A = this chain, B = another copy of it.
Amino acid sequence: MAESAGTVETKYYFFDGSFRLESDALLENMVIAYETYGNLNSEDDNAVLICHALSGDAHAAGYHPGEQKPGWWDDMIGPGKAFDTEKYFVICSNILGGCKGSTGPASIYKETGEPYGLTFPVITISDMVNAQKLLIDYLGIKKILTVAGGSMGGMQGLQWSISYPEMVQSCIPIATTYKHSAQQIAFDEVGRQAIMSDPRWENGDYYGKEHPFGGLSVARMIGHITYMSDTSMEQKFGRALKKKEYGYDFTQEFEVEGYLRHRGNNFIQRFDANSYLYITKAMDYFDIQKNHSLFRAFQYIKKTKFLVIAFSSDWLYPSYQSREIVKACKMNGIDVTYCEISSDYGHDAFLIEFPEETKLITHFLEKVKNDLVYAKK
């Protein structure tokens, strides 16, 4: 019976050196918020790194004291779950540039005593991964059994595999891509423009004043449309009205309107608008090929095993993008398994279709673990 990871707390890692970013900028006093579930074994071969998506955070599983809502991937992480905390030592950290404990644009810049705002340097997926690497080193972990994540979490997984191939035993990229496409950049850019065209944004210098809530809410609403599918929206809302009849006005009339506004309003209470800009920008920069071919990007990977998962109705990160990753792995002789899960839930499926994900991941991790034990003998 699957149980909860229990009461958990967010911890903080303070890096006191200078952290060099891909842009060559230096970041001082970097903090990385993280949580861990389960225990690192004496062989140091059961560490699992979970990477979160755009609006996620370090709180992936279990409950914070006094809270009713568990972490964002609690269905997948805990005793007897896909990432079984009785077997694995699971780590999740808030990304660099985020607003849930790790250093980001809302953090105080030591030199000025004010929030960074737009003086925060632009970051990339590689920078997020390199910051996580410092945390992993600090935790005394030499090898990672698997790096797993959906959406932007999958991009981090791919980047980990390519940046630190000797360290990553396996990788589970879910509902993700190897490069942001023009359409993916376009959706992100519209979200950014919604924020930046809100006069309250004030070039990012809104802290202590009214925040650009209108723009941020619109950005989130756009996001939510892309996270669902035409089918799931039709099934969930159709043309259902909140009232009995048409009101012939601009209040929330259709259920789907109410849902989107609710999602937008929820989001602005927990997310920083500047973080939204920085994180979407990092995704837009993401292209693991870096002016070369996808085949070449994977060429230094020897032993890392891949489980690539996509969802049939995900049109934000369509499955053909996952299949390209699989092809590049195959062409490099990399051990790769591909599964497309049939689902109507669109991109959100990676947060919903946990029974199937659990089966796939459970067996994959057992195999990776067994192969590792066998190799050591």
Contact = CB atoms under 8 A, between A and B. Distances in A.
Contact of A122 (B118, B234, B249): B249
A192 interface: yes
Interface stretch (A35-43, A156-164, A281-289): A281-289
B260 A190 contact: yes
A294 interface: no
Instruction: Give this chain's copy count.
Output: 2
Interface in A202-247: 214-215, 217-218, 221-222, 224-225, 228, 230, 233-234, 236-239, 246
Contact of A256 (B186, B218, B222, B318): B186
A238 B182 contact: yes
A196 interface: yes
Interface in A248-281: 248-250, 254, 256-257, 260-261, 264, 277, 281
Q: Is the interface of A mostly helix, strand, loop or mixed?
A: helix
Given A121-B248, A190-B225, A239 B197 contact: no
A198 B214 contact: yes
A186 B215 CA distance: 16
A339 interface: no
A112 interface: no
A97 to B, nearest CB: 12
A202 B19 CA distance: 45
Interface string A173-193: 000000111110111011011
21 contacts: A23-B248, A118-B250, A121-B248, A122-B249, A122-B250, A181-B230, A181-B233, A181-B238, A182-B238, A182-B256, A183-B233, A183-B234, A185-B254, A186-B257, A189-B256, A189-B260, A190-B218, A190-B225, A197-B215, A197-B217, A250-B277
Interface of A: 23, 25, 118, 121-122, 179-183, 185-187, 189-190, 192-194, 196-200, 214-215, 217-218, 221-222, 224-225, 228, 230, 233-234, 236-239, 246, 248-250, 254, 256-257, 260-261, 264, 277, 281, 284-285, 287, 315, 318
